[in-house]
Amino acid sequence: MTAGPYRDRSGKTLADYPRPSVAVDTAVLTLDERNGLVVLQVHRENERGWGLPGTFLHQGERLADAVKRSLKFKANVDGLAPRQLHVFDEPGRDNRGWVLSVAHVDVVRQERLAQRLPESTRLMPVDSPGRLSFDHADIIARALGYLRERYTRSPDPDHLLDDEFTIRELRLAHEQIAGTPLQRDWFRRTMEPQLIPTGVLSSRGRGRPAELFRRA
């Protein structure tokens, strides 16, 4: 198949070049009843305290697969759609050696995190994620930007809510993500064309019952 190893113009093969370790780190975001938008953290055993879940890339593995593997292993989460955010490459960022980290983001319903280990994982509000390395705070900020952009126009694209919901429930979820209150009437007018009415009324709250909708 191949006529010996590839050599470049200086006669070096691929193996002659130094190679960094490559890791993935992921900000898994979800909505919490009490704390709003929260980020999954894991206790890193031989290291300092809490951090975002991550792993080293295995031989020939896709980055997205490494993300899925690390989350499956650490929080028993599947059905993920990790998305790249940024490569962190400061030479001194990891005291174990030369490690590049490809930061990712993913968004899941909190139920999907139910199987996680309660002692070695925690969910922290994105506003006050605790003491983390500079990298990880930056990853959370980028993840938040991504999520806010994603939720500006489309009704709950990541299915944080059930299949059916009232417009109020939808707006409260979007407000948690935006971090600011959203206008009630404008929000309805923007989202309603992207929703399918079910004709069924919900009386989960106090006032007039609201119609349940599905995503279009």
Sole binder of a second copy in the list 3, 4, 33, 97 (CB under 8 A): 97
Per CB under 7 A, 76 contacts DNA: no
DSSP letters for 103-172: EEEEE--GGGGTTS-TTTEEEEETTS--S--HHHHHHHHHHHHHHHHHTTTSS-TT--S-SSB-HHHHHH
Per CB under 8 A, 14 contacts a second copy: yes
Q: Which is nearer to DNA, 124 or 210 (CB)?
A: 210
Per CB under 8 A, 7 contacts a second copy: yes
Task: Classify 175 as helix, strand or coil.
Answer: helix
Cα–Cα distance for residue pair 157/82, rounded to 1 Å: 14
Per CB under 7 A, 96 contacts DNA: no
Sole binder of a second copy in the list 48, 58, 153, 159 (CB under 8 A): 58
For 129, half-sphere exposure in the C-beta direction (CA atoms, 13 angstrom radius) is: 26
Cα–Cα distance for residue pair 176/154, rounded to 1 Å: 15
Task: Classify 201 as helix, strand or coil.
Answer: strand
The item of a second copy, DNA, none sharing an interface with residue 210, based on CB under 5 to 8 Å by kind, is DNA
Query: Hey, what are 215's tokens?
Result: 């995503």
Residues 119 to 178 in contact with DNA, rule: CB under 7 A: 166-168
For residues 141 to 160, the per-residue mask of contacts with a second copy, x marking binding by CB under 8 A and - elsewhere, is: --------------------
Per CB under 8 A, 89 contacts a second copy: yes
Quick one: which of 126, 128, 133, 131 has its CA closest to 105? 126
Quick one: which of 56, 62, 61 has its CA closest to 96? 56
Sole binder of a second copy in the list 35, 36, 69, 100 (CB under 8 A): 100
Per CB under 7 A, 41 contacts DNA: no
Taking the complex as a whole, the smallest distance from the CB of residue 149 to DNA amounts, in Å, to: 13
What is the distance, to the nearest Å, from the Cα of residue 3 to the centroid of all Cα atoms in its chain? 44
For residues 15 to 44, the per-residue mask of contacts with a second copy, x marking binding by CB under 8 A and - elsewhere, is: --xxxxxx----------------------
Sole binder of DNA in the list 44, 61, 211, 215 (CB under 7 A): 211
Using CB under 8 A, list all residues that contact a second copy: 2, 6-9, 14, 17-22, 45-46, 56-63, 84, 86-87, 89-91, 95-100, 102
